[in-house]
Structure formats: C-alpha cells, structure tokens
Amino acid sequence: MDSEDLRLAVYRSFAESGRAPQMHDLAEQLAGDVPAVIGGLEELAVARHLVLDELGRIVMAHPFSAVPLGFSVMGTQTLWWGGCAWDSFALPHLLPGEGEVLVATRCPACSCPHAWNVGTQQPPDGSQVAHFLVPASRMWDDVVHTCRHQRLFCSEDCVSAWLRATGSERGYVMDLRTLWRFAAHWYDGRMDRGYIRRDPAQAADYLRSAGLAGPFWGL
Ligand SMILES: [Zn+2]
Ligand SMILES: [Zn+2]
C-alpha cells in the first residue's frame, strides 16, 4: 500500500467529513486489506504524519483531530474538532473552499466562552491570548497532551490564574495576531501529494518569521 496514498486518504477524510476514516473504508478506497492499512498507519505514525491511540485508531493528523481538545471549528457544512489553538487557527488555510470558519472555545481558567471568525486574509480581532505549555523540543513526547494544553485564554490574568490553579510553569504567551500568522502556513502542503516536512533550520526560520522567539521555541 502506497504510504502517500494512505496519508492523503486520511487527510481527505478529515477535511471533507471532519472525521477520521474507518480502516475498512481506507482498505476499500486503496484496494488493499485492513492489515495493510494498519501497517501503513503505523508507519505514518512513526514518521509523525499522524497520531494513533493504543488500539491503533487515528487520533490526530495535524492539524485535524478525531478527539476534542478544547476547540470546535464550524464550516458551512462541516464541523471539525479543532485540535489545539494553533491547529484550529490553521484549519481555514487547509480548507480553501470554506472562507471563514467559526472557531469556538472556553477559557480554561474561567470558562468564559470565546469565538472568532477565522479566515485566510487577516487575523481575527480580539484581546485574548494563546498560552502554549510544552516547549517545542518536547512537543512530540506526548503530542496529544501538548495539543490539549495549547489554549486560548481571556487575558494574561486568566493564564496566570490557570497556571496557579494547575501548578504548571508558564510556557509561551502570544496574541491572536501572532497565533494566526504562526498557524497560517505551518501546515502548508499537507493536503498535497509529496508533502515533505520542513527540516529543523526551515522550521526555525518559519517560527522567527511569524514573530516567535526565545528558548521555548529553540530559537
Ligand atoms: Zn478567562
Ligand atoms: Zn495542536
């Protein structure tokens, strides 16, 4: 089974339906069998193209998620779990037919609801801030945990309150404009055949160009 065909089939399912594909659907689409699909998904997970749970089910194919991580993203016909703050803001850039999507979440500190129309042309307005807990060098130690803790808060005060309440160390705080810029092109190419991940030097250049800085990002 061609690994790139399989990767694209997974991404297409998420993009079109908001859901992870079923194993037997992938097998049918790719004229293979379920064991070949399972093996192929494992290979893709090793290469960090997707994330599987302990039963081998697809949990994430960044920026898409099969599980709730604090965000919903609503299009005209489709509803996605948004992944984290970064992933939710990235989704409209991978869904060119959608225009603006509605990204919604609750502040983890005070449960205040927040929603933004997020598109590809300009960052949404708002004084909320994103807090990323896990430094870049450790993001893949447990990437679902990492995404679960990349959230949007009302304000710096709510970030501080949440850090105190959970006994967590402060990670990295950015405004909505920076989050949007950072999310805009990070996932470029994932819907296309032949996608190749940026090497570390290119990734660092990208992060710098989005306005991120400091040891949290390995910069
Ligand atoms: Zn709050
Ligand atoms: Zn994420």
Identify which ligand lies nearest to the alpha carbon of 161: 1
Per-residue confidence in pLDDT tens, the chain, 219 aa: 899 999 999 999 999 999 999 999 999 999 999 999 999 999 999 999 999 999 999 999 999 999 999 999 999 999 999 999 999 999 999 998 899 999 999 999 999 999 999 999 999 999 999 999 999 999 999 999 999 999 999 999 999 999 999 999 999 999 999 999 999 999 999 999 999 889 999 999 999 999 999 999 999
* CA-closest candidate to residue 143, choices 38, 205, 59, 18: 59
Return the closest-CA partner of residue 157 out of 127, 134, 183: 127
Ligand 1 centre to CA of 162 (Å) is: 9
> ∠ at Cα 180 (118, 188), nearest 5°?
95
**Cα of 170 to ligand 2 centre, how many Å?**
18
Q: For residue 48, report the distance from its CA to the centre of ligand 1, in Å.
A: 33
Q: What's the gap in Å between 76 CA and the centre of ligand 2?
A: 23
Q: Which two tokens stand for residue 76?
A: 């005209």
Q: Does residue 63 have a cis peptide bond before it, meaning omega lies within 30 degrees of 0?
A: yes
**Angstrom distance (rounded) from CA 155 to CA 40:** 43
